Structure 1
Amino acid sequence: MFSNLFKCSGVLIPHETLVNLPELLYTRISIMDNLFTQTLSNEASNDIPQTEGTVWILGKKYNAKRDIEAIRKDIRSRLWFTYRKGFVPIGGFGSTFTSDKGWGCMLRCGQMVLGQALVSLHLGREWRWTPETRTSTYLNILKRFEDRRAAPYSIHQIALMGASEGKDVGQWFGPNTIAQVLKKLVVYDDWSSITIHVALDNALVINDVVRQCRVEGATTAEVDGEKPLKAPSQWKPLLLLIPLRLGLNEINPIYINGLKTCFQFPQSLGLIGGKPSHALYFIGYIGDEVIFLDPHTTQRSGSVDQKSEDNEVDIDATYHCKIANRIPIMEMDPSVALCFFCANEKDFRLLCRLMQDELIANEKQPLFELCSERPANWSPAEDVAAEALGATASPIPGPVSDEGFELLG
């Protein structure tokens, strides 16, 4: 009678329950995770404190009390990419990856910083989103990140590009990995008209960037248009990513002032980082707390298309976070990537001067080095990048080593 029952802690459990126990436990954990993330995203106590303190959001300065509504509009206008469920399986037939919950948080943070770069380029830093926004440029940007295989920066494209570099679909990315993957993906998107430079070995080599951005026949953005413009020789708009590790298990306090200063630069696109195994996109700070967008909320997948149907309007709203969250800056994981956007060479030259004056000359321990040319004892850029990616003799790069590549010497 009890041949299909087993005793566990004095309780008789059906055999089929034991067989399905891992799935049941995962479901239970998923439910609790959903409850936590929903509370985290909507708790008013995590909003901007009502003080006279200064708030910095992506290079823009506010007064926390007098400018509270402007701050919230600014934050809500940033593209907010979160876990999604119900999309076409990543990897095609037979794949079970119809959601990125539990593993895609750093991929979503990468989408957020790239999305902000495209907004800054095509719409401008002062652009503000409203539920009525339907401009073709905005919709064109957003559709590039939708959860479908054909979208240039979809979760599908990012995950599969990561798999080609040794990160299996479903495996967690670090800041370095997402930086390298995005760098490869933007090459295939002429409309976005952007290039990504990833500064390696804790140093930004100015002329490496200049050589990369001064591209013959490069494309540039056409405001509110469908096609890119081309010029014989010009500066290609730059998304600059500087991966760093600022401590072993926690951030060394000596770097705190430098991190805050980065948010003040007009070229700032914030930081990709988070807490251990919990990626976040940091967009500003107030006092000793950093303000972030959190991808750890699972939403249904869908398309905005032309935003003409009620369902499309609802989907569009899910890409904009209503309430900011914040944590003490010392709770950040020491592995981060600084993010900057330079629309033209003048912006880049100004950024270099700001870095030299504010981050290097003024700091006892700078976040990174700034130099005109690579020292003779350095490896060529391609070799350094290959080493960072753990490349083998194969033409396809191997696994990324986040630990060894990021650690400051």
Structure 2
Amino acid sequence: MDLLLADNIGYDVWEVEDIPSTAESIVILGKTYKYKDLDEIRDDVQSRLWCTYRKGFPPLGSVQYTSDKGFGCMMRCGQMLLAEALIQSHIGRDWRWTSDTKDPTYLQIVNKFEDTKTAVYGIHHIAIMGQESGKKISEWYSPNVIAQVIRKLVRFDEFSNLHVHVALDHQLALDDIIEVTSPLLIIIPLRLGLTDINPIYIPELKRCFEIPGSLGIIGGRPNQALYFIGYVGNEALYLDPHTCQRSGSINNKESQTELEMDETFHQKHAGRINFSSMDPSIAVAFLCKTQKEFNDLISNLKKPKDSTETPLFEIVEERAQPWVSTSMSSRDLEHDLSVICGDQSQEFEKLDKETEDGVDDEDDDGFEIID
């Protein structure tokens, strides 16, 4: 496995400082480690499904794309998040991957993320569902868009047995979730600043990784989507989709080619980025398999470690109804805003578009193609 990664990724994996020597705790998806547990940490990281750019898959869309390099990184992060939810709900958080793993449930999960036109969570179905949301195939997805795509796709997969709730407007309304009768994936899209993460949110970002049921965060740095799975000190740990590997299937892992293909779905070395360098547009996610786990999650989210910490979002019993003025027409409101804001209104429109569409993801210089 290490030799395969070294050949494919282009660096000596034995020299990677993925986890720095530290006395601080290392947190990964609800589990806390110490540096002395480095081998266990890497086994944990390696057991997450690593979804990356692929090349050589069946033609996608009218342009006939055979690779998603340059535009598919947020799609791949969404795949990693959903795969983690399936692994935790069907195999368990403590399950560990090895190169000779042939667990039928694991194989079934991976098959669903392969780049074929029949794989329910493959890039072809993600792109089709994105088009229904108004996104062109080659457009960059925001965390909110991929969250909505996930919500729609799981309805076509009986195996998943997942219900997906996407909370909007920085608000988790409990009346939207009446009862947890099957595993519940909660995704909460957030914007924690204009161009940079506001530092006041970092303590609560860290806590999102500590809470049982954590599925991490999808977000990234400017121009690059990343899947965040934990933290050490002031740095977030992530899996990076910006490696382009050949497309293929693991089927039942009977052949050497299928064994090697399975290895391309795993990476034991997490990357690190300072929280302050993260893009402020993110989505945090949690999994609750039972009503008790949901109740415990809400209890944990409602009580921050420190009363001075700023919550990332609001938890309310009922969603507030949108306010609509009965005395002012929309045309009057637009006129008054233009008078008050002047040319600044154009800047707000520009920011809103950037918030919805995400950042331009065409800057992929330096990313390596794997044969």
TM-score exceeds 0.5: yes
Q: TM-score, normalised by structure 1?
A: 0.76
What is the aligned partner in structure 2 of residue 182 from structure 1?
150
Q: Which amino acid aligns with 1:368?
A: F
Q: Is the 8 A contact 2:171 2:315 kept in 1?
A: yes
Deviation at 1:362, TM superposition (A): 2.7
Q: Which amino acid aligns with 1:196?
A: V
Q: Which amino acid aligns with 1:181?
A: V
Q: Is the 8 A contact 1:176 1:402 kept in 2?
A: no
Q: Is the 8 A contact 1:237 1:343 kept in 2?
A: yes
Q: Is the 8 A contact 2:143 2:218 kept in 1?
A: yes
Deviation at 1:136, TM superposition (A): 0.7
TM-aligned CA distance change 1:405 to 1:99, over 3 Å: closer
Deviation at 1:206, TM superposition (A): 1.2
Q: Which amino acid aligns with 2:311?
A: P
Q: Is the 8 A contact 1:258 1:363 kept in 2?
A: no
CA distance in 2, matches of 1:85, 1:131: 23
Name the SS of the counterpart of 2:284 in structure 1.
Answer: strand
Q: Is the 8 A contact 2:46 2:269 kept in 1?
A: yes
Would you say 1:73 and 2:43 are equivalent positions? Answer: yes
Deviation at 1:404, TM superposition (A): 5.7
- For residue 263 of structure 1, the aligned residue among 190, 204, 209 is 209
Name the SS of the counterpart of 2:75 in structure 1.
Answer: helix
CA distance in 2, matches of 1:258, 1:150: 39
- For residue 354 of structure 1, the aligned residue among 300, 310, 317 is 300
- For residue 54 of structure 2, the aligned residue among 62, 65, 84 is 84
Deviation at 1:265, TM superposition (A): 0.2
Would you say 1:58 and 2:58 are equivalent positions? Answer: no
- Cα shift readout 1:373-405 (whole Å, capped 9, x = no counterpart): 1124469xxxxxxxxxxxxxxxxxxxx966169
Deviation at 1:344, TM superposition (A): 1.1
Name the SS of the counterpart of 1:327 in structure 2.
Answer: strand
CA distance in 2, matches of 1:269, 1:39: 29
Name the SS of the counterpart of 2:302 in structure 1.
Answer: helix
What is the aligned partner in structure 1 of residue 339 from structure 2?
none
What is the aligned partner in structure 2 of residue 148 from structure 1?
116
Q: Which amino acid aligns with 2:154?
A: V
TM-aligned CA distance change 1:364 to 1:138, over 3 Å: closer
- For residue 169 of structure 1, the aligned residue among 117, 134, 137 is 137
Would you say 1:374 and 2:342 are equivalent positions? Answer: no
- Cα shift readout 1:64-96 (whole Å, capped 9, x = no counterpart): 2x10000000000000000000000113xx532
CA distance in 2, matches of 1:299, 1:95: 21
CA distance in 2, matches of 1:242, 1:41: 37
Name the SS of the counterpart of 1:89 in structure 2.
Answer: strand
* Aligned length, in residue pairs: 325
Q: Which amino acid aligns with 1:123?
A: I
Deviation at 1:257, TM superposition (A): 0.3
Q: Which amino acid aligns with 1:287?
A: G
Identity of aligned residues (%): 49
TM-aligned CA distance change 1:42 to 1:332, over 3 Å: farther
- For residue 236 of structure 1, the aligned residue among 176, 182, 190 is 182
Name the SS of the counterpart of 1:67 in structure 2.
Answer: helix
Name the SS of the counterpart of 2:57 in structure 1.
Answer: coil
What does 1:2-401 align with in structure 2 at a 5 Å threshold?
38=9, 42=13, 44-64=15-35, 66-91=36-61, 95-210=63-178, 213=180, 235-358=181-304, 362-377=307-322
Q: Which amino acid aligns with 1:59?
A: G
Q: Is the 8 A contact 1:55 1:61 kept in 2?
A: yes
Structure index of larger Rg: 1
Deviation at 1:372, TM superposition (A): 1.0
CA distance in 2, matches of 1:321, 1:194: 26
Q: Is the 8 A contact 1:273 1:333 kept in 2?
A: yes
What is the aligned partner in structure 2 of residue 21 from structure 1?
none
Deviation at 1:43, TM superposition (A): 8.0
CA distance in 1, matches of 2:51, 2:190: 23
TM-aligned CA distance change 1:194 to 1:54, over 3 Å: same
TM-aligned CA distance change 1:363 to 1:351, over 3 Å: farther
Name the SS of the counterpart of 1:280 in structure 2.
Answer: strand
Q: Is the 8 A contact 2:204 2:310 kept in 1?
A: no
Deviation at 1:191, TM superposition (A): 0.8
Deviation at 1:209, TM superposition (A): 1.8
TM-aligned CA distance change 1:40 to 1:369, over 3 Å: farther
What root-mean-square deviation, in Å, do the aligned CA atoms of Structure 1 and Structure 2 show? 2.2
Q: Is the 8 A contact 2:204 2:309 kept in 1?
A: no
- Cα shift readout 1:345-371 (whole Å, capped 9, x = no counterpart): 111110000000127x73443211001
Q: Which amino acid aligns with 1:282?
A: F
TM-aligned CA distance change 1:178 to 1:401, over 3 Å: farther
CA distance in 2, matches of 1:288, 1:70: 21
Deviation at 1:135, TM superposition (A): 1.1
